[in-house]
Amino acid sequence: MNHDSPLPPLSPRPPHHLAAGPRRVLTTARLRSHGVPAAEIDDRCRPGGPWQRLLPGVVLLHPGPPSSEERLHAVLLYAARERSARVLAQPGPADSTAPRYEDAMITGPAALALHGFPSAPPLPSLEVLDVLVPRLRRLRSTGCVRIVRTPVLPAPERVAGVPVAPVPRALADAVAVLEGADAGAGAVRRLLGEAVAGGHCEAGALVRELTDAKLLGRPHVVRAVASLLAEGRAHAEGGLYRMVREHALPDPLWNVDLRLPGGPHLGGLDAYWPEQAVALHLDTRREDLPDGGVPRSGHAREREHLERLGITVVRVTPRGLRDATEQQAAVVRTALMAADDRDPAAYVVVLPR
């Protein structure tokens, strides 16, 4: 543990009073600050004694097995910078205040369980809890704690009174420890699906974390991601169909390619209204792989080319279809109504995609 500065002394509290408190996991430094000598801590932690050492420098103040909550706090006490422990076990009302740990948060399967993922293993079944810390912290994995390092620590979320890594980071760390291609692929598919379907995060955020963690080199992870993105694309297309139907927009031609007569391919479209020369592109680039496999400049060039031909291009996103359907429909309707005020578009050939 990091002892950046000495802890301020607290008023002495008898050991039996500490053990009766609401939080029965403390560091040895905090116990000493309460007036419990190191020799007494050692004596109480002897085999068969009333206390036990869960981790280096972390003591459980009762002889039985720790609860899931106590294990979470124990690994955070081990990994957090010592000065952040000053808020712990203060006498009086502060005992009821949830501790705040500095430079440490729960990640991996334990974090997913705390976030409420149905397929994540329950906390009591986890032999090891992953804790995310800055890369340069001098800590080692030991006992029930596995140290996971990162160059940039994300902003934690508070779940059940402890700091927890955001879902994309927690999921990437969970995927990193899943072993076996067949079992791993099924577990990754389930976790990715629950993350997106449960509204925890967008697919793009997950893929970015998996990319940063260099996990897309694993074939079973790639297959799971491809399955997720295909499902996400199908779901977004369903939202597009509903928008046209429920907001009484004219029926377009669905999923078409545009070409100049005898000329080059102009691009694929999700919907096209030929009479009004309005094209709709369902843009999943920001929510899929970093650029959807196509350079952003390529998308921009396609749009500019179509607009030079007099075709209005409307871009919608899956998130917009989900969260702001009425506004998306209004944009399309406005583009259709404005067709009479524009110069006629160039003639293009429309082909099924």
- What distance in Å separates the CA atoms of residue 134 and residue 148, rounded to the nearest whole number? 8
Q: Which of 80-89, 191-200, 342-351 is the most confident on average?
A: 342-351
Tens of pLDDT, residues 161-178: 899 999 999 999 999 987
Phi then psi dihedrals of residue 14, to 5 deg: -65, 145
Tens of pLDDT, residues 203-224: 888 888 999 999 988 888 888 8
- Whether residue 127 is predicted with pLDDT greater than 70 in this model: the reply is yes
Q: What is the pLDDT of residue 247?
A: 96
Q: Give the C-alpha separation, 96 to 81, whole Å.
A: 21
| Residue-wise DSSP of 187-221 | HHHHHHHHHHHTTSS-HHHHHHHHHHTT-TTSHHH
How far is the C-alpha of 277 from the C-alpha of 149, rounded, in Å? 53
| Residue 266, C-beta contacts closer than 8 angstroms, at least 6 positions apart | 257, 258, 259, 260, 302, 305, 306, 309, 348
User: What b/e readout covers 43-74, taking b as 16+ CB neighbours within 10 angstroms?
Assistant: ebbeeeeebbbbbebbbbbeeeebebebbbbb
Of the candidates 34, 230, 36, 201, the one whose C-alpha atom is nearest the C-alpha of residue 112 is 201
pLDDT at 85: 43
Residue 9 sits at φ, ψ, to 5 deg, of -65, 145
Judge whether 283 and 291 are in contact, CB under 8 Å.
no
pLDDT tens per residue across span 327-337: 999 999 999 99
Query: pLDDT at residue 290 above 80?
Result: no
Higher pLDDT, 186 or 334: 334
Cα–Cα dist 197/44, whole Å = 49
The per-residue pLDDT for 232 is 79
Residue 305: predicted pLDDT? 87
Instruction: Kindly report the average pLDDT of the chain as a whole number.
Output: 84
R_g over Cα of the chain: 28
Instruction: Report pLDDT for 128.
Output: 95
Sorted by sequence, the CB contacts under 8 Å of residue 297 that are 6+ apart come out as: none
Confidence tier at 7 by pLDDT (50, 70, 90): very low
- The lowest-confidence range among 99-103, 179-183, 227-231, 315-319 is 179-183
What pLDDT shows up at residue 3?
44
Helix (H), strand (E) at residue 69: helix 68-79
Distance, in Å, from the CA atom of 264 to the CA atom of 260, rounded to the nearest integer, reads 6
Q: Which of the four pLDDT bands, split at 50, 70 and 90, describes residue 6?
A: very low
pLDDT band (50, 70, 90) for residue 340: confident
Which CA distances in Å does 8 have to 5, 17, 35, 91? 9, 20, 12, 13
Average pLDDT over residues 56-78: 94
Report yes or no: 287 and 320 within 8 Å, Cβ to Cβ. Answer: no
pLDDT tens per residue, range 87-119? 444 343 334 445 678 899 999 999 999 999 999
| Nearest CA among 25, 27, 30 for reference residue 7 | 30
CA distances in angstroms from 155 to 55, 73, 114, 152, 168, listed in the order given: 26, 18, 16, 10, 12
Asked whether the predicted pLDDT for residue 288 surpasses 50, the reply is: no
Q: Where do the DSSP E strands lie in the chain?
A: 25-27, 52-55, 58-60, 105-107, 129-134, 145-150, 157-159, 162-164, 253-259, 265-273, 278-282, 312-316, 349-352
pLDDT of residue 259: 92
The predicted-structure confidence for 135-162, as pLDDT tens digits, reads as follows: 999 899 999 999 999 999 999 999 988 9
For 218-253, write each residue's pLDDT tens digit: 888 888 888 888 887 888 899 999 999 999 999 999
> Could you say which DSSP state residue 155 is in?
P
Residue 85 near residue 79 (C-beta atoms within 8 A): no
pLDDT tens-digit map of 32-50: 988 999 999 999 999 999 9
List, edge to edge, every strand of the sheet that includes 129-134.
145-150, 129-134, 105-107, 162-164, 157-159
Tokens matching residue 13: 């509290």
